[in-house]
Structure 1
Amino acid sequence: MDDNHEAVAFKPEGLEQDELIIQQHREIEKEISDSILLIGQKEEFTSLETEYINDPVYLTKVQDLSKKYKCMRRARPDGNCFFRSFAFAYFEYLIDHNEEYKHFKERALKSKDELISCGFTQFTLEDFHDTFMEVVNMIGEGQHEKLYDTFNMQGYSDYVVVYLRLITSGQLQKDADFYKHFIEGDRTVVEFWHQEVE
């Protein structure tokens, strides 16, 4: 190449657009994470009634929920909200139900070995299981506020979610013949757990 000419890097057509979309996606995620807690404080259902005041179908559903439950919590809509909400609600329940907590803790301790028997490597599981057990042990302390604060720490909360996803994946693998009847479309259980769970 001639020293008098500068090398020009060419970007494939559309790459700038892709970068802009990715950047916009990150900005939206940051805005959500800055404004919505991983697990929110308890709220009355009246806040949902206000949101859905112009939608009679949803308003009826909210009113039905308010007859069955005292309050609700919101969860950050980050793709992990189901696992995070389930874990928090169940762990909070266990704080006040000691016998069930003891049974759950025993199962949680054994879960790593069960996952290894499903083909997961110990190396993959170790950190997630250790953090999961740290949070499970916290339940035994009986402190609702400490559990709430922990679930709003991204690191702890995400590790609990990942470990629950691994447990779910292990269960799907272990009982694939049973679960295959519940999967819609042409996907196999393996495809389902890779796309939806892991």
Structure 2
Amino acid sequence: MEPKMPGFGDFSPVSYQLPDPLDLRVQVTEETDLRSLTPAQLYELNQNYLDDTVPSSQPPISELAPLSTLRTEYEGSSGSFIKQIDFLIQQGYEGIRRSRGDGDCFYRSLIFAYIERIFSQEDRKVAVDSSVSTLQDFLPRLREVGFKDMVVDESYEIPRDLIRGIIDPEPVSMSTNGTTLTPAHLLREFQDESTSKYLVTFMRMITSTQIQGEPETYEPFLTHPDTGETMGVKDFCRIVVEVLGKEADHVQLTALSQALKVNLKIAYLDGRSQDGRVEFVSFNYASDGKETPLTLIYRPGHYDILDRRSSEPLPINPSP
């Protein structure tokens, strides 16, 4: 029996080798049955769609927008995708927060959702302390696998200060004018290119460290994303995980959700469902199994944040 990645079953969004792009090009209309396309063709189709519809000036993280805006973008090209978007709306998902499609979208989406959820916690101080502790506990492990002290410290300070800033106006790495962090401040910080890179870098470092800490769990699933060849843990982390711009596969999703101790749910939007239903894949690593999961939406090659709100919360200054 072949091994399966814990918490992921048979779902593997990007675990295939892409053939020559010239072999993938397909003309898609409303009548096209996307179930007839290969995973690689779906990947190529979505990448072409992102290239055509996403402006080059898109910030690392965008404001919440109604999910209906995504529906509008698919009109005239794919009835299957529209059915799945309608299904999500019927399930109460009304908003999408887009992450720039630059290969870092998974890491950026997850850390944004990880921090933003603290605003909705009943006891923010407990949530802040717990989140900071989770990140801080990784620092010695990061050094053990070979990350330099300066890189570790500089990368850690940004998420630490953002999280602490929710209840403490003192962190110096933020421009909140002496107030505690608001949702509007959080979005602004994530839209800063430098801050975004530090956050993604730290998430990649944590993911790498988690994989290296459990080689027997992850090594059976490590393959080169371009060649499909098997890889050792250290090479996989060095070439695939730690480099900015490299897309995340099921291994990285599992490792980072496990490292952050969160429940994560992925809505898999592939346009191949006959009845429009969307498959949700769950990673449950929170100590409290009933904890509300962070929810992302996956289209072949890309992750965004799925939300039950359709617009930004009021930019009020939250009280601790």
Q: TM-score range by the shorter chain?
A: 0.7 to 0.9
Structure 1 distance, partners of 2:222, 2:86, is 32
Q: Secondary structure at the match of 1:40?
A: strand
2:62 is paired with a residue whose SS is coil
- Correspondence 1:181 to 2:220: yes
- CA separation of 1:75/1:183 partners in 2, compared to 1, >3 Å: closer, same or farther? same
Does 2:122 match 1:100? no
Alignment partner of 1:59 is 2:82: yes
Which string of whole-angstrom CA distances, capped at 9 and with x for unpartnered residues, describes residues 18-73 of structure 1?
xxxxxxxxxx9xx955x212111111111111111230221122122222422111
What is the CA–CA distance in structure 1 between the aligned matches of 2:55 and 2:95, rounded to whole Å?
23
Alignment check: 8 A CA contact 1:151 1:157 kept: yes
- The structural deviation recorded for 1:81 is 1.3
1:49/1:62 contact within 8 Å kept? yes
Structure 1 unaligned regions, length at least 5: 1-27
Superposition TM-score, scaled by structure 1 size: 0.76
User: What is the CA RMSD across the aligned residues, in angstroms?
Assistant: 2.1
C-alpha spacing 1:80/1:139, structure 2 compared with 1 (3 Å) = farther
User: TM-score normalized by structure 2?
Assistant: 0.49
CA distance 1:65–1:191, change in 2 (3 Å): farther
- Return the offset for 1:128: 1.1
Structure 2 vs 1, CA of residues 171 and 74 (structure 1 numbering), >3 Å: closer, same or farther? Answer: same
Residues 128 and 163, structure 1, Cα contact 8 Å, conserved in 2: yes
Structure 2: which amino acid aligns with 1:71?
G
Which residue, out of 75, 95, 105, partners 2:99? 75
| Selected match of 1:139 from 160, 166, 172 | 166
In 2, the alpha carbon distance for the partners of 1:155 and 1:105 equals: 21
In structure 2, the gaps of 5 or more residues are: 1-50, 168-179, 224-228, 243-320
> Higher strand share goes to which structure?
2
Higher helix share: 1
Q: Secondary structure, in 3 states, of the residue corresponding to 2:159?
A: helix
The 8 Å contact of residues 139 and 147 in structure 1, kept in 2 or not, is answered as no
Question: What's 2:264 paired with?
Answer: none
Q: Take 1:60 and 1:41, find their aligned partners in 2: how far apart are those partners?
A: 24
Identity of aligned residues (%): 26
**Number of aligned pairs?**
168
Q: Aligned with 1:78: secondary structure? A: coil
Contact 1:40–1:73 at 8 Å: present in 2 too?
yes
Say whether the 8 Å CA contact 2:68–2:94 is kept in structure 1: no
1:153 to 168, 179, 192: 192
- The 2-side partners of 1:61 and 1:183 are apart by 31
Structure number with greater Rg is 1
Structure with greater contact order relative to length (CA < 8 Å, sep ≥ 6): 2
Distance 1:151 1:167, change over 3 A: same
Q: Give the corresponding residue for 2:33.
A: none
What SS does the aligned partner of 1:79 have? coil
